Amino acid sequence: MEWLGNALQWVWDLLVQQGEVFLRLCLAAALGGLIGLEREASGKPAGFRTNLLICLGAALLTELSRFVALEPGSANQFRADPGRIAAQIVSGMGFLGAGTIMKARGAVTGLTTAATLWVVAAIGMAVGAGAYVPALLATTIVMFALFLLYRVEEQLLKARPQDRTLEITLGVHDLDLTKLEAAIRAARLQVISVNVTRHDDSALAAFQLRGPDDRYPALVQALLGGRGVHRVALL
């Protein structure tokens, strides 16, 4: 088992020699994982492992960018631009972040996730560059913004107007736009546009509405009890 002892000794010597690099990578993984835990708990697609790997990768690329630019045998003399590789992280994160942005029901979603990934990469770069205090401070601010400000925003902005599409299917002889619009106004919602499609024995009235999100459920319930209404869909 002498070979095992020699291998362990070699690993230990390597860790001692590259101790700071090892600690940087561990710190980057820890900070990225911390932010990722909050994302995972919020049910976001880019969760614990994604944020951990991005932060670790950004730190490693930043360290590698510096390493390949060093003069052989020198600790602080550079033969090339030490930020050349690291500079590509920003543009690379732009493509990755774009993949998390989606458009659904007329609204763009995923912007916060994309921004979080971008900031996580920046934190990893800071750790890789040895800027530990800015990295820790940025992580603290990100956690505050994601965990606390999100909940404050939910409470304060419940009345924020939302654009939704309301589709009402009813008998063709029961179609009365005046009555439908009166029900919408009673729910204190604004009609932006209306489109009616008639079939043989039914009609589809599609309303584009604007108003606080918490007012829509009551409107749907009120319309479902209307005469001749077959279906109400809120998109």
CATH number of the domain encompassing residue 208: 3.30.70.260
| Same domain, yes or no: 76 and 180 | no
Rounded CA separation 196/25 (Å): 60
Cα angle 215, 219, 225 (rounded to 5 degrees) comes to: 155
Alpha-carbon Rg for the chain, nearest whole angstrom, is: 28
Q: What is the per-residue pLDDT for 107?
A: 55
Q: For position 136, what pLDDT does the model report?
A: 92
Residues in the chain: 235
Residues 62 and 172 in one domain: no
Q: 224 and 122, same structural domain?
A: no
- pLDDT tens string, the chain, 235 residues long: the values are 667 666 766 666 666 666 788 888 999 999 999 999 888 887 787 788 989 999 999 999 888 888 877 766 666 666 777 777 778 888 888 777 777 776 554 555 677 888 888 999 999 999 988 898 999 999 999 998 888 777 776 666 666 677 888 888 888 787 888 888 888 888 888 888 888 888 878 888 899 888 887 788 888 888 887 778 888 888 8
| Residues 6 or more apart whose Cβ sits within 8 Å of residue 76 | 70
In 54-131, DSSP assigns E strands to: 102-104, 107-109
CA–CA dist 98, 110 (Å, integer): 9
Positive or negative, the CA dihedral 26, 29, 32, 38 is negative
What are the residues facing 104 on neighbouring strands? Answer: 107
- Structural domain of residue 114, as residue ranges? 2-156
pLDDT at site 124: 92
Question: Within this chain, do residues 73 and 172 fall inside the same structural domain, yes or no?
Answer: no
- What is the widest separation between alpha-carbon atoms in the chain? 92
Q: CA 84, CA 130: separation in Å to the nearest integer?
A: 17
Q: Are 32 and 120 in contact (CB under 8 A)?
A: yes
Domain count, the chain: 2
Beta carbons within 10 angstroms of residue 213's beta carbon: 13
Closest CA to 38 of 159, 170, 203, 150: 150
- Single out the residue in 92, 125, 156 at which a domain terminates: 156
| CA end-to-end distance (rounded Å), the chain | 68
pLDDT recorded at residue 122: 92
